Structure 1
Amino acid sequence: MSELMRAVGYRKNLPVSDPSSLLDLELPVPEPGPHDLVVRVRAVSVNPVDVKVRAGSDPHGEPKILGYDAAGVVERVGTAVTLFRPGDEVWYAGSIARPGTNSELHLVDERIAGPKPVSLDFAGAAALPLTTLTAWEALFEHLRLGPDSTGTLLVLGAAGGVGSIAVQLARQLTNVEVIGTASRPESRQYVLDRGAHRVVDHRAEGLPDGVDYILTPHSAGMVPTFARILRPFGAVVAIDEPAGLDILPLKSKSISWHWELMFTRALYDPTSTAQHEILRQAAELVDKGVLHTTLTERLHGMNAANLRRAHATVETGSAIGKVVLDYAM
């Protein structure tokens, strides 16, 4: 008989208020491939992609495990693994093409995992990988910002998971002016505390003119506004995918549009170690006190009830920072 592990997943698309929307399950322990780590998961965080997949991907009665962010301890390694050994503490965001992290044991390719920051506990670390990779790729690969970059960066949704990391990275690692959007007093203060030079209202009339770069998780209906407030030859990097998006209003100013999907490398360039390297560098920044965890709510115990609670919080779209579930030891 196969060894079993605890997991949380779903079998049918249901509102998060339904007790069957997420279920406590027992599943076979997975066997690693050549480059896989078998990680004993100690903490996970919940991202908008978890909610989106649960709502839009029907597993037709089969158990589907969500979860992308994780921090844990390597328990076993595949035959070709060279980057880690059993006992190593790791953090990562995984792949959307594989079973998720909401399980006791999880398989992840070593090339998209990194060494966990030693200065954070597992919950603090689990809040960061997906949003850090997303923000890092958006800022430094798509927008090509660097230490000598100047100008103005507008981060929409700056109190959210990606926004709160982007603000920190841009403020600490570039010379751009960082402007975040937020509307509630507590979210405005949170963004300022992360390092934004200033905070403006997210509504179109509150956005400043003459910006050079925009990072947006909310692009629906915003392209005409972006065309108005961006300088000629400015750039937008978007992490959402609104239906029927028309970017033609950007053409007269020669504004470039970039898409950022953190899972692209795992899906299309599986031999790349770029995300391993980003997470290694990010861990060093955390341990130097340059980058700070965005954990704002911690739930003790990986179970369906807690995960439903976390999904409900993320579904509101107004969460500050990240919700993390840890395994009660």
Structure 2
Amino acid sequence: MKAIGFKESLPITETKSFIEFETEKPSPTGFDILVKVQANSVNPVDFKVRQSVAKDKVLATPKIIGWDAVGVVEAIGDKASKFKIGETVFYAGDINRSGSNSTYQLVDERIVGFKPKNLSIAEAAAIPLTGLTAYESIFDRIKIDPVKDKGKTILILAGAGGVGSIATQLAKKVANLTVITTASREDSIQWCKGMGADFVINHHNDIVEELKKIGHPEVNYILDYVNLDAYWETIQKIIKPQGHIVSITGSGTPLNLSIMKNKSVTFSWELMYTRSMYTTDDIERQHDILNHLSELLDKGIIKSTLTTTLKGFTVENLKKAHELQESGRSIGKTVIEF
């Protein structure tokens, strides 16, 4: 089968930053299904892994990355029962396994959902990783109750990003929250509003003052999708007592959690890969989440965040997608159709 990978962590402009090669088509066992990939999308994790995994060394065999895909089930493992051959699925996969930058991929069926029927292949491929991350942030980490918590305020840092775009929609249209996002450029501000944000504040200004201007000096919840270290001191000023903070970005230094003590604030990490990395008891939750997202998309309650489609599974297109992600100025999602 055809695959595109890398042996060295090189700048994306380098000729060998990605290489095309042939490798054996795998066969599924256990809970795995074999998917013939039709499209995938690129996320920040893709270029971060590409830049770090083979730094200062050359891998013996090319590493295949890619953590979003839509495809058709071609074969099923002996323990798999959720899908039939010929059905179209979408998923974000497992960071510890071979990725979707290949014409065929093995994936555990428990982290796979049915593709939304009313979306194109490209529109669906834009969803899984960001959709799972946003959904888990709101409903698994904070555990929002759309009835009990209706109208409470949530601040989404980096609202125009891939995760922020889905989180804004879920927070507004499913969780019934008052949604505040950050953005600065006119195109990203309008994008956030189009996703359903009630307010968009400028992250280049003082966040404390920006929130005061819109009449919400403190918020119930904060989702950090950009840079926890940069916002940590500000967060403790604007989170309400007994509020909840979720971050996906990590921290370069130990966090001073004691500054949240008097407010009894809850802090949670969110990593979409946790369930698949550790085969947690609730690993099947991602199957259920993806199916719920599929239902929400088919009903038009939320919409795809696809903005750019590249035709053809080629090294050139993969490089273009990575360059766009690395620029830090991309809005929405970039998908490659095979």
**Normalised-by-shorter TM-score class:** over 0.9
Give the paired residue count.
Answer: 323
Normalised by the size of structure 2, how large is the TM-score? 0.93
Matching residue of 1:52: 48
Q: State whether residues 300 and 325 of structure 1, in contact with CA within 8 Å, keep that contact through their aligned partners in structure 2.
A: yes
Quote the offset at 1:77 in angstroms: 0.8
Which of 203, 218, 223 pairs up with 1:215?
223
Task: State the alpha-carbon separation in 1 of the partners of residues 264 and 286 from structure 2.
Answer: 30
Task: State yes or no: 1:231 paired with 2:230.
Answer: no
> Residues 31-53 of structure 1, C-alpha deviation per residue, up to 9 Å, x if partnerless?
21221111010000000110111
Amino acid of the residue matched to residue 79 of structure 2?
A
Normalised by the size of structure 1, how large is the TM-score? 0.95
Partner SS state of residue 243, structure 2 = strand
Task: State yes or no: 1:251 paired with 2:261.
Answer: yes
Quote the offset at 1:270 in angstroms: 5.1
> Residues 281-311 of structure 1, C-alpha deviation per residue, up to 9 Å, x if partnerless?
1101110001100000110011111111111
Could you list the runs of 5+ residues in structure 2 that have no partner in the other structure? 212-216
Quote the offset at 1:233 in angstroms: 1.5
Q: State whether residues 68 and 130 of structure 1, in contact with CA within 8 Å, keep that contact through their aligned partners in structure 2.
A: yes
Q: State whether residues 39 and 108 of structure 1, in contact with CA within 8 Å, keep that contact through their aligned partners in structure 2.
A: yes
Amino acid of the residue matched to residue 175 of structure 2?
T
Partner SS state of residue 33, structure 2 = strand
Task: State yes or no: 1:36 paired with 2:46.
Answer: no
Q: State whether residues 204 and 225 of structure 1, in contact with CA within 8 Å, keep that contact through their aligned partners in structure 2.
A: no
Q: State whether residues 169 and 302 of structure 2, in contact with CA within 8 Å, keep that contact through their aligned partners in structure 1.
A: yes
Partner SS state of residue 330, structure 2 = coil
Matching residue of 1:177: 178
Task: State the alpha-carbon separation in 1 of the partners of residues 301 and 114 from structure 2.
Answer: 17
Partner SS state of residue 221, structure 1 = helix
Partner SS state of residue 276, structure 1 = helix
Q: State whether residues 38 and 76 of structure 1, in contact with CA within 8 Å, keep that contact through their aligned partners in structure 2.
A: yes
Amino acid of the residue matched to residue 156 of structure 1?
L
Matching residue of 1:268: 278
Matching residue of 2:214: none
Amino acid of the residue matched to residue 114 of structure 2?
P
Amino acid of the residue matched to residue 130 of structure 1?
L
Task: State the alpha-carbon separation in 2 of the partners of residues 232 and 97 from structure 1.
Answer: 38
> Residues 225-244 of structure 1, C-alpha deviation per residue, up to 9 Å, x if partnerless?
00111111211100011211
Task: State yes or no: 1:323 paired with 2:322.
Answer: no
Amino acid of the residue matched to residue 174 of structure 1?
A
- 4+ residue segments displaced more than 4 Å: none
Matching residue of 2:200: 199
Q: What is the RMSD computed on CA atoms of the aligned residues?
A: 1.2
Partner SS state of residue 14, structure 1 = coil
> Residues 228-286 of structure 1, C-alpha deviation per residue, up to 9 Å, x if partnerless?
11111211100011211423322232222110000000011356310000011110111
Quote the offset at 1:313 in angstroms: 0.7
Amino acid of the residue matched to residue 15 of structure 2?
P
